[in-house]
């Protein structure tokens, strides 16, 4: 077997091999709107081929940007299109492709790799850990009243009621570049969010509302008329209004859009897809039980390729020191680092000091964006805390003001 890089000339064979691995046909239901591959970057993809030249495996990566805690935007490889044809599975083809890909990404100078996993049991062995989570929230319209605000203090700029804005309904095809611009502003301030490169929007690659499927878009504008949020939605069976995604500059805009869809006539219930865990929407409703959470699942998996670079890249909000003993079995690396945080910035250097925590690189990926607490993984038995208080210290340091969330599908 050989693993080789691809060019634009390999596009057809790449797509066909991948579809065989997924048991799908190009243009079939899993294709969304049939153009997902328009975003593939063929100079970043790999094909596994047998000695007699038959393609048996694919792996790709997109050149995204990822927002880290502290509103810091860094490059990130978005691993995609991973598949091995059914006749050649469990013979190490994926493992060989992953090894090749991680080396390739390091050669490109990339230090974070991310993916969405079809199955949660595949990628930990390659050093990935789940780092952001998402869920669906269903609200029956008759229970969709919002609670009156409770604080008696004078209104602040954060208060939802102290702002004025407007909502206009457009068809997806008539939105021009509004969605792209609103999404781009949102993702730069949302830890865990990925960029959606311009060509995704122009080629309609992805899922709605990137894919130009029939959708209505409720566009929210601020008092100056500048778009600062949108909800992409459609009406389906049982008069359920399904919201693909709600993109909002802040919580007040999110609430305005939620109120808008929950006030839609002829709707029995509203299904909000891609809601971050712990989102305030349930608290904003008068009836806390009205919001039913389902499909609570992992979304973005993170793999650190250069631990010191990754740890010094993100923003931090609590000063402190932590010694991390990090094991990277797949790449055969084992290192101990002293992480020192002062005034929002970290320094990360090799050390011989006794560790506070010992952990696998996949678990470091899980806690990196602040979406999983170190103490949860200590309690689960995956991270070893070497003294009383080590887990609480790590929790305090890795904690982020905003829950990381990613809703980009790739
Ligand atoms: C980011 C994305 O693109 S996600 C998309 C992932 N692709 C798919 O789900 C498509 C359908 N599945 C496939 O194409 C293949 O089964 C793949 C790509 C998941 C795995 O490819 P393979 O070549 O069989 O994997 P490989 O032989 O290298 O397996 C390595 C190890 O992972 C394990 N493994 C691989 N896939 C799975 C799985 N789906 N479930 C459980 N274990 C798995 C193997 O048992 C093996 O374990 P071992 O090292 O203890 O022996």
| ipTM, 2 dp | 0.98
Find the distance separating the first CA and the last CA of the chain, reported in whole Å.
27
Q: What is the pLDDT averaged over residues 325-342? A: 98
Q: How confident is the model at residue 298 (pLDDT cuts 50, 70, 90)?
A: very high
* Residue 227, SS3 per DSSP: strand
How many structural domains does the chain have?
A: 3
> CATH no. for residue 340?
3.30.1050.10
- For residue 122, the CA-to-ligand 1 centroid distance in Å is 6
- Window from 39-53, 202-216, 332-346 with minimum mean pLDDT: 202-216
Q: Enter the DSSP assignment of 387.
A: S
Q: What is the pLDDT of residue 26?
A: 73
Q: Does residue 25 carry a catalytic annotation?
A: no
Are the CB atoms for 367 and 398 separated by under 8 Å? yes
Query: pLDDT category, 210, cuts 50, 70, 90?
Result: very high
Which of 269, 295, 321 corresponds to the end of one domain? 295
Average pLDDT over every residue of 39-52: 97
Using CA positions, which residue lies closest to atom 6 of ligand 1? 82
Whether 219 is covered by a domain: the verdict is yes
| C-alpha to C-alpha distance for 339 and 320, rounded to whole angstroms | 8
pLDDT in tens, 98-111: 999 999 999 999 99
Q: Is residue 126 part of a domain?
A: no
% of the chain exceeding 70 in pLDDT:
96
Contact yes or no for 359/307 (Cβ under 8 A)? no
Mean pLDDT of 38-57: 97
For residue 295, report the distance from its CA to the centre of ligand 1, in Å: 23
pLDDT at residue 207 in the model: 92
42 lies in the same domain as 140: no
Q: Is 154 helix (H, G, I), strand (E, B) or coil?
A: coil
Q: Which two tokens stand for residue 263?
A: 């006030």
Residues 312 and 285 in one domain: no
**Catalytic (active site) residue 410:** yes
Pocket of ligand 1 contains residue 122 by CB under 6 Å = yes
**Is 91 labelled a binding residue?**
yes
> What kind and span of H or E run contains 19?
helix 11-22
Predicted TM-score (pTM) of the model is: 0.96
**290 shares its domain with 310:** no
Helix orientation angle between 361-368 and 390-398, rounded to the nearest 10 degrees: 50
Lowest mean pLDDT segment, chosen from 3-12, 44-53, 151-160, 275-284: 151-160
Tokens of 45: 């993809």
**Rounded CA gap, 148 and 150, in Å?**
6
Same domain, 216 and 337: no
Cβ distance 3 to 46 under 8 Å?
yes
pLDDT of 162 = 54
Residue ranges making up the domain that contains 274: 134-295
pLDDT at 33 over 80: no
For residues 367-371, average pLDDT: 98
């Amino acid at each position: 077997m050989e693993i080789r890089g691809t060019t634009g000339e390999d596009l057809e064979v790449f797509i066909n091999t991948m579809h065989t691995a997924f048991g799908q046909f190009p243009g079939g239901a899993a294709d969304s709107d049939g153009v997902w591959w328009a975003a593939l970057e063929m100079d970043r993809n790999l094909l596994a081929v047998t000695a007699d030249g038959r393609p048996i495996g694919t792996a790709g990566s997109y050149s995204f940007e990822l927002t880290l805690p502290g509103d810091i935007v860094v490059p990130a490889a978005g691993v995609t299109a991973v598949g091995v044809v059914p006749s050649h599975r469990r013979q190490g083809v994926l493992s060989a492709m992953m090894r090749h890909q991680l080396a390739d990404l390091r050669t490109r100078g990339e230090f974070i790799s991310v993916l969405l996993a079809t199955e949660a049991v595949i990628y930990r062995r390659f050093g990935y850990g789940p780092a952001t989570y998402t869920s669906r929230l269903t609200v029956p319209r008759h229970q969709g009243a919002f609670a009156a605000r409770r604080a008696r203090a004078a209104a602040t700029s954060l208060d939802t009621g102290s702002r004025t804005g407007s909502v206009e309904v457009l068809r997806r095809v008539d939105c021009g570049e509004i969605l792209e611009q609103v999404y781009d502003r949102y993702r730069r301030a949302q830890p865990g969010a990925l960029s959606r490169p311009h060509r995704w929007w122009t080629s309609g690659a992805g899922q709605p509302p990137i894919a130009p499927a029939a959708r209505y878009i409720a566009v929210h504008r601020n008092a100056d008329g500048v778009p600062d949020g949108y909800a992409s939605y459609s009406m389906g069976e049982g008069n359920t209004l399904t919201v693909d995604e709600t993109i909002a500059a802040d919580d007040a805009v999110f609430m305005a859009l939620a109120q808008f869809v929950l006030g839609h006539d002829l709707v029995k219930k509203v299904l909000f897809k891609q809601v971050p865990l712990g989102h305030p929407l349930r608290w904003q409703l008068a009836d806390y039980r009205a919001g039913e959470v389902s499909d609570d699942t992992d979304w973005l998996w993170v793999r650190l390729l250069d631990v010191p670079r990754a740890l010094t890249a993100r923003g931090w909000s609590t000063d402190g020191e932590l010694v991390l003993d990090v094991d990277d079995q797949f790449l055969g690396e084992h290192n101990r680092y002293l992480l020192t945080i002062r005034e929002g910035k970290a320094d990360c250097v090799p050390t011989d000091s006794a560790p506070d925590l010992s952990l696998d690189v996949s678990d470091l990926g899980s806690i990196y964006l602040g979406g999983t607490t170190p103490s949860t993984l200590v309690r689960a038995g995956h991270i070893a805390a070497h003294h009383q208080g080590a887990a609480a210290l790590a929790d305090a340091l890795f904690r982020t003001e905003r829950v990381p969330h990613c809703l980009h599908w790739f």
